A = this chain, B = another copy of it.
Amino acid sequence: MENDYFKQDWRRGEKIQILQYISMKWMMCFFIGLLVGLVGFCNNLAVENIAGMKFVVTSNMMLAGRYTMAFLVFASSNFGLTLFAGLITAFIAPEAAGSGIPEVKAYLNGVDAPAIFSLRTLFVKIVGSISAVSGSLVIGKAGPMVHTGACIAALMGEGGSKKYGLTWKWLKYFKNDRDRRDLVTCGSAAGMAAAFRAPVGGLLFALEEMASWWRSTLLWRAFFTTAVVAIVLRALIDVCLSGKCGLFGKGGLIMFDVTSANIAYRIWDVPPVLLLAVIGGIWGSLYNLLQDRVLQIYNGINIRGAAYKIVLALTVSIFTSCLLFGLPWLAPCRPCPSDTSEPCPTIGRNGNYKKFQCPPGHYNDLASLFFNTNDDAIKNLFSKNTDDEFHLLSMLIFFITCFCLSIFSYGIVAPAGLFVPVIVTGAAYGRLIGMMFGSQSTLNHGLFAVLGSASLLGGSMRMTVSLCVIILELTNDLLLLPLMMLVLLISKTVADAFNGNIYDLIMRLKGFPYLERHAEPYLRQLSVSDVVTGPLQLFNGIEKVGNIIHVLKNTEHNGFPVVDEPPLSAAPILFGLVLRTHLLTLLKKKAFLQNLVPAGYNAFNQFSADDFAKGLDHGDRVENIQLTDEELDMFIDLHPFCNTSPFTVVETMSLAKALILFREVGLRHLLVIPKVSGRVPVVGILTRHDFMPEHVLSLYPSLAKSKWKRLRFKLPGGVKIF
């Protein structure tokens, strides 16, 4: 936003201030990386220790034959952890429920959802995520980490939380949306980097999926942030190598290492992989479809109140505990292989061969998957030289259970990510394909599991480069790269034929007016004047206070064109655009004039730039401003506070073209001027909502059936799911 006032402010800046501003931004990125790295590490540490302790205790009971007791301890600890996560989420910060990625993505597109970046949300997101993941729910921690990172960045950009008085004056450098958005982008990159220890993957995730605008400076800043995260994680893991981190173990920087010196796949390995990719894409889109329906049902339940929310969460928890503990009993005990390098059955917590109820020298293959944290299950599924460890039927049971549980677990009142469930489900799916079609293949089943995860991720999240690099950084297997790229592309293409990206579906359910980059073809057939609706609210250059109050109370617009009319000018001219927030500030400060005379530049002395800085919380409301009748009859000179050169388009421009301008430049208001001058100098104002397909189609329903809609397979009209 550019008005006379800010221009004045900017010109006052000295070289030293610019230097200070730039180094501040880099400093912020450094601290974001540091904090997110720390949080990510602690999160991991806490989950491994809480969940690990639970499994150690129950496993010991199982060894002693006290199976009922083991189940009770297992189920009740899951119940307690879920209850805790649900309680804090429902009562302290309902915004922290779910993944958080859709909210952050919408914010970066310009949609401000309330309270998503508050200190409360941050706290609940971190603690709730640890507690819910430790409670053996089939949910991930990557989404919450992204939200946590974004939250830390937003709070730092704001200089702390205003509400709790935790503000630092010197941090209030970042007054504009762009700086805040940059920091939040870096924060979300850092979050993903910390969740998967994948610095480049996290950066690319922020670039491909999250950010709506991108500049190379931002790329470098995000790279710096994720580099800091990588170094912090590397250093902390080094500390853990000395064994001081409890059950965290001595893992390296790579979470699921599948390196093998020489993967020599040949041309005949490709057909099963292609099959895997195609079916994976179908599974992925089915996953999105079902998730969407389940979320609609859950929303219907959750809306009735906190008690309902918590009961729903607890139901899911009990159900999950029963399945996780119950299903392994179906699997027969299998004798330990003689040639394994690992102890069998597993002693302690980690390891591929869980004893569960089996006699010595035997292991239960389903228990190795179910009776474990999700991370360990993935590790087992990805591991090499384990082609004979799992039975086909066990794998099938595990796949179906994971698929259903992950769909039913998202949407409960707790921080819950989607990445890890999809990875674990995909890994099981990949092993299944490997078992069925890969007997001739030179690829081992662990690699099939990796490709299966890739295909399901591609089918559900619809990313390419970032998923590719994330999986690469998770598994450290560069030689698999050509196959991985192939799988991601195919599964994404197949899934795109059916429905959208899971995050976009969730955003639509939440009702965020997300502005797509791609213009729907029917927008080409409309001109901007076709969608400009309602009476336009204008202000005069010098406007009566009472009028402003009236308009602000009766409309919800955030921007108003300011027009100079005779006698102030010869003909009516469009002077500029004034924002609601600036009007409110002027009203609060009572910068009024007695009569219709321009105020001149001494008006500036009353204000400092901070008065117009936009906070993340919109505390000011016009109802709170008390004015006397006398004041209502006075005037305000709006000229110095206008953006005098707003972006304009001519009324005949096609909507698609105006959308490009709106989207690429990142506008909030776009003024529509008449083709033929002489009439009023402005005929309308376009905002984000005017470009929404819902809005356009409600005005022109006939377009919905036009041939221009996006090409996509639909379920036949009669078929309904749920």
Contacts and interface: CB of A to CB of B under 8 A. Distances in A.
Interface of A: 2, 7, 10-11, 14-15, 18-19, 199-200, 203-204, 208, 214-217, 219-220, 223-224, 226-227, 230-231, 234-235, 238, 252-254, 259, 261, 266-267, 464-465, 468-469, 472-473, 476, 478-479, 481-482, 485-486, 488-489, 492, 517-518, 521, 524-525, 527, 569-571, 573-574, 644-645, 647-650, 652-654, 657, 660-661, 664-665, 675-678, 681, 707, 711
A223 B648 contact: no
B571 A676 contact: yes
**Interface SS of A by simple majority:** helix
Contacts of A472: 200, 478
State the 9 A-B residue pairs at the shortest beta-carbon distance, nearest first. Answer: A645-B653, A227-B485, A677-B677, A664-B664, A230-B482, A223-B464, A476-B478, A234-B482, A231-B482
Given A208-B219, A469-B469, A478-B476, A654 B650 contact: no
A291 to B, nearest CB: 22
A219 B464 contact: yes
6 contacts: A253-B482, A527-B645, A571-B677, A647-B661, A648-B649, A664-B664
Contacts of A489: 220, 223-224, 227
Contacts of A252: 479
Contacts of A664: 664-665
Nearest to A479: B253
Nearest to A679: B677
A1 B14 CA distance: 42
Contacts of A485: 199, 223, 226-227, 230-231
A58 B235 CA distance: 51
Contacts of A678: 570-571, 677-678
Contacts of A7: 524, 654
A252 to B, nearest CB: 7
A18 B481 contact: no
B479 A573 contact: no
Contacts of A517: 215-216
B2 A657 contact: yes
A644 B648 contact: no
Nearest to A252: B479
A531 to B, nearest CB: 15
A478 B489 CA distance: 24
Among A2, A200, A208, the one with the most B-chain Cβ atoms within 10 Å of its Cβ is A200
Contacts of A677: 571, 573, 677-678, 681
A253 to B, nearest CB: 6
A574 B649 CA distance: 13
Contacts of A204: 204, 465
Contacts of A234: 482
A200 to B, nearest CB: 6
B214 A214 contact: yes
